[in-house]
């Protein structure tokens, strides 16, 4: 049996989990999320709403894979509605900066024009300084996806290290051209 899948998911106080068929709805202080789980997975709320358990129908390869996946997705939903997930990005380069205009993130990263990205509905973006961007969301996938879209505007390059990178990302630097005489 899946080590991850067989663990029960603890539901903290202030979080409500509702299951209708294969749909799971989680509501908490920081937001509300829904998941349409695979129809073969049996999801049950136990102990008067204090725990959620995922069960699989058989030991086929697909069922084993879906067992742990479904449990992890529900765990991330419960964690996200209590404390949102966050990804921190750093803008590195002379003249490179970020700013927030309502629900639009503006990036000046060395192109002739400013790159403007629309912030998705479940995501909130903070720009505490011109060189740092914080992406928060109760949905782990949405936070990671938008952070990846922001980074893809100008990924860090290996020669000078300029670009948009995750906060703790290590950029492998290259030496570049060696100048000298014959």
Q: Give tens-digit pLDDT for 52-83.
A: 999 999 999 999 999 999 999 999 999 999 99
Does domain 85-166 fall into CATH 3.40.50.720? Answer: no
pLDDT at 96 over 60: yes
Q: For residue 125, which of 98, 92, 165, 154 has the smallest C-alpha distance?
A: 98
- pLDDT for the residue 11: 94
The domains spanning 9-82 and 85-166 adopt the same CATH topology: yes
End-to-end Cα separation, the chain, in angstroms: 66
Q: Taking 60 as the threshold, does the pLDDT of residue 182 lie above it? A: no
Please state, in angstroms and as integers, the Cα–Cα distance from residue 48 to each residue in 8, 41, 51, 65, 162, following that order: 14, 21, 8, 28, 53
Other CB atoms closer than 10 Å to residue 123's CB: what's the count?
21
Taking the whole predicted model, whether its pTM rises above 0.85 is answered as yes
Query: Can you give the pLDDT at residue 180?
Result: 60
Structure tokens at 75: 């765990």
In percent, the amount of the chain with pLDDT more than 90 equals 81
Question: What are 103-122's pLDDT values in tens digits?
Answer: 999 999 999 999 999 999 99
Q: What are the extents of the domains in the chain?
A: 9-82, 85-166
Q: Name the one residue in this structure whose structure tokens are 């879906």.
A: 66
Q: Closest Cα to residue 163, out of 102, 105, 108?
A: 108
CATH 3.20.20.140 holds for 9-82: no
Please, how many CA atoms are within 13 Å of residue 93, restricted to the half-sphere of its CB?
22
pLDDT digits (tens, 9 = 90+) for 13-43: 999 999 998 899 999 999 999 999 999 999 9
3-state SS of the chain is CCCCCCCCEECCCCCEEEEECCEEEEEECCEEEEEECCCCCEEEEECCCCEEEEECCCCCHHHHHHHHHHHHHHHHHHHHHHCCEEEEEEEECCCCEEEEECCEEEEECCCCCCEEEECCCCEEEEEEECCEEEEEECCHHHHHHHHHHHHHHCCCCCCCCCEEEECCCCCCCCCCCCCCCC
């Amino acid at each position: 049996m899946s080590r991850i899948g067989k663990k029960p998911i603890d539901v903290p106080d202030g979080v409500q989990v509702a299951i209708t068929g294969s749909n799971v709805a989680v509501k908490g202080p920081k937001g509300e999320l829904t998941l349409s789980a695979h129809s073969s997975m049996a999801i049950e709320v136990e102990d008067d709403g204090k725990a959620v358990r995922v069960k699989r129908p058989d030991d086929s390869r697909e069922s084993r894979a879906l067992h742990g996946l479904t449990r992890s997705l529900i765990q991330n939903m419960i964690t996200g509605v209590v404390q949102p997930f966050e990804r921190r990005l750093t803008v590195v380069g002379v003249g490179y900066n970020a700013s927030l205009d309502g629900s639009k993130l503006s990036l000046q990263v060395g192109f002739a024009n400013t790159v403007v990205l629309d912030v998705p509905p479940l995501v909130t973006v903070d720009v505490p300084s011109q060189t740092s961007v914080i992406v928060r969301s109760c949905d782990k996938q949405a936070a990671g996806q938008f952070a990846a879209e922001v980074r893809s505007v100008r990924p860090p390059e290996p020669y000078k290290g300029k670009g948009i990178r995750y906060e703790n990302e290590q950029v492998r630097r290259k030496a570049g051209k060696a100048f000298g005489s014959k």
